[in-house]
Amino acid sequence: MLTFLKKIFTWWNQDTFGTRVQTIFFGKLKGKDTFGNKYYESKKGKRWVIYSEEIDASKIPVEWYSWIHHTPNSLQNNQEPNKHAWQKPHQHNLTGTKKAYHPNKNNNETIKKYKTWKD
């Protein structure tokens, strides 16, 4: 019962009940990315994404980001994008996690550029 209520009222828990209904009746699956996100389009041209896990817009890879914003690219022809050997795999925003960048992370120290004022 709690899962059903979450589905109806919480947008951060994948998709809501309304989005599910719209996807079933009006959505045509256009593709899936490496994170498992599914991309849909309606007959009127509206595009949306159903996230596989937690909703985070930074989890959309570049090629699908341009598709969802109606920017022309190679996905218009339902082709996989050409990936070069020098391209790194897409990562979502890691700010606030243990994998976030910190300049002295390996030294396990924080260098302050100021001294605290004491009484």
% the chain with pLDDT above 90 = 14
C-alpha distance from residue 102 to each of 93, 106, 113 (Å): 14, 9, 15
DSSP 84: P
Q: pTM of the prediction?
A: 0.58
Rounded Cα–Cα distance for residues 82 and 112 (Å)? 44
Of 17 and 33, the one with more pLDDT: 33
Rounded Cα–Cα distance for residues 110 and 105 (Å)? 8
Rounded Cα–Cα distance for residues 35 and 21 (Å)? 23
Work out how many domains the chain is built from and give that number.
Answer: 1
The dihedrals phi and psi of 19, each to the nearest 5 degrees, come to -65, -40
Q: Which domain holds residue 118?
A: 1-119
pLDDT, one tens digit per residue, over 23-53 is 889 899 999 988 899 999 999 999 999 888 7
Q: What is the mean pLDDT of residues 95-100?
A: 81
pLDDT, one tens digit per residue, over 40-95 is 999 999 999 988 877 878 888 888 888 888 887 655 555 566 778 888 887 878 88
pLDDT of residue 111: 60
pLDDT at 110 over 60: no
